[in-house]
């Protein structure tokens, strides 16, 4: 749900002339686990008062999503690798190296809430940096 966080936070900034979309490499809304992650992400948005900027579902990555973007960002190299199996990414695709829940140091189930907040803060910092670089 990291890309949804980036999309929602950037939307919440209400920058004129900016359109943002996100999509995932493994979207399966029939999955109970996926629905739980989505609900947890919405909870994070509510805690940060940006839930009104969130879309109501996750979108699967398609070639149409990958084409004709000014900036393409993947959350880490694993996502880039998964995306390459689905679409052809633009050559200028960037990786933010943001570790997901269940990866590297974010594997202790009891720490999920803390991980969600850490991920949110990492993404907010990267979006703010991106906006500053492109202003």
Q: How many Å apart are CA 28 and CA 84, to the nearest integer?
A: 18
Q: pLDDT by residue (tens digit) across 53-66?
A: 999 888 889 999 89
**Which H or E run contains 60?**
none
DSSP one-letter code for 24: B
Q: pLDDT at position 35, please?
A: 82
Burial of 69 from C-beta contacts in 10 A (0-12 / 13-18 / 19+): middle
Q: What are phi and psi of 78, to 5 degrees?
A: -60, -40
Q: Where are the extended beta strands (E) located within 28-93? A: 73-74
Domains held by the chain: number: 1
Q: What share of the chain has pLDDT > 90, as a percent?
A: 58
Whether 76 contacts 101, CB under 8 Å? no
Q: Among 100, 113, 109, 9, which Cα is nearest to 54's?
A: 9
Q: How many Å apart are CA 50 and CA 73, to the nearest integer?
A: 21
Q: pLDDT by residue (tens digit) across 37-96?
A: 888 899 999 999 999 999 988 888 999 989 988 899 999 999 999 999 999 999 889 999
- For the whole prediction, is pTM greater than 0.95? no
Q: Supply the mean pLDDT for the chain.
A: 91
Question: What's the domain range around 26?
Answer: 2-133
CATH code of the domain in which 12 resides = 3.40.50.2300
């Amino acid at each position: 749900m990291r890309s949804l966080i980036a999309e929602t936070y950037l939307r919440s900034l209400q920058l004129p002339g900016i359109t943002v979309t996100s999509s995932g490499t493994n979207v399966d809304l029939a999955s109970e686990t996926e629905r739980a992650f989505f609900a947890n992400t919405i909870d994070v948005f509510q805690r940060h008062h940006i839930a009104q900027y969130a879309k109501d579902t996750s979108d699967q990555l398609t070639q149409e999503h990958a084409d004709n973007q000014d900036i393409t960002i993947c959350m880490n190299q694993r996502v880039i690798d998964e995306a390459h199996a689905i679409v052809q990414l633009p050559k200028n695709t960037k990786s933010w190296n943001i570790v997901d829940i269940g990866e590297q140091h974010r594997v202790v189930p009891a720490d999920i809430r803390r991980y969600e907040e850490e991920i949110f803060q990492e993404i907010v910092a990267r979006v703010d940096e991106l906006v500053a670089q492109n202003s």
